A and B are shown apart, each in its own frame.
Chain A
Amino acid sequence: GQQLNQSPQSMFIQEGEDVSMNCTSSSIFNTWLWYKQDPGEGPVLLIALYKAGELTSNGRLTAQFGITRKDSFLNISASIPSDVGIYFCAGREIGGSQGNLIFGKGTKLSVKP
């Protein structure tokens, strides 16, 4: 089935640095979502995007819906230790079944204090 290519798989950064990650698909999506998962917990929704070119912020997080509708980007500015976790992208294909989403495999973020 359809899969999302999420990169990078993992990254180590210094506190205060900016972080970028992205997600690409082989088909056109009408929805992109970004989640964060802390150890032992369920994913928590960070940002939802519904229009090509849309740029949405949530505090230090900014996500964009790519204009080709086949990709999305998440940026974290001035990272802090609590940003550690796994970030997942998820998307819905145009014509996709019900509200079903396709998930990336995640970007594991580790911050050096």
Chain B
Amino acid sequence: DAGITQSPRHKVTETGTPVTLRCHQTENHRYMYWYRQDPGHGLRLIHYSYGVKDTDKGEVSDGYSVSRSKTEDFLLTLESATSSQTSVYFCATLETQEGYEQYFGPGTRLTVT
């Protein structure tokens, strides 16, 4: 357990509004990830970070941006939310560079109306 919290846990927003989701970890893990989970698609990687200010795109990065100014925080921003971004978003952290055991947060359920 990497002590991962996500906020908010639930959010309803309107199309076109900006939204920021926060992931906070207390274990000083180097790597952090944002996934979205949708029925029929499983978990898909949006963006990831391999250190402070070091980020890269995942499989479904269009429409999303991220920032990591501190080791413990990884922010996911939807600049202009669309209905297709309605999903459950999970943050994960990776314990070490040699092992690949990712630990997940509790998720944020986002609804874009």
Contacts and interface: CB of A to CB of B under 8 A. Distances in A.
A99 interface: yes
A35 B45 CA distance: 16
> Which of A1, A44, A98, A105 has the largest count of B CB atoms less than 10 A from its CB?
A98
Nearest to A31: B100
Interface of A: 1, 31, 33, 35, 40-45, 48, 50, 88, 90, 92, 97-101, 103-106
Contacts of B48: 98, 100
- Majority-rule SS of B interface residues: strand
Q: Size band of the B side of the interface?
A: 20 to 34
Contacts of B97: 99
A48 B99 contact: yes
A105 B42 CA distance: 4
B106 A99 contact: no
A33 B105 CA distance: 17
B41 A44 contact: no
Contact of A43 (B44, B58, B90): B90
